[in-house]
Amino acid sequence: MDKERVQEALNKIRPALQADGGDVELVEVCDDGVVKVQLVGACRGCPMSQLTLANGVERVLKEEIPEIVRVEPV
């Protein structure tokens, strides 16, 4: 799984996050299928950020790239 492919999938999610004043940054793509991201902007301190991460970012990434095991915040 390469970083460019993950970045392309994140770009599909990004407009929805940016509409609410937030964004997501790719930190690392691990060989074991773990993708590490950082929520920034309004998403960073939002109490709903875990829900956004699980139901938004992780769901879309797993749909686009089935070899992703999980998405972790950093």
pLDDT in tens, 10-62: 999 999 999 989 999 999 999 999 999 999 999 888 888 888 888 889 999 99
**Domain-wise residue ranges, the chain:** 3-73
Read off the pTM. Answer: 0.90
Token pair for residue 29?
């793509």
Tell me how far apart the terminal alpha carbons of the chain are, to the nearest angstrom.
Answer: 20
Q: Give the fold, CATH level 3, of 3-73.
A: GMP Synthetase; Chain A, domain 3 (3.30.300)
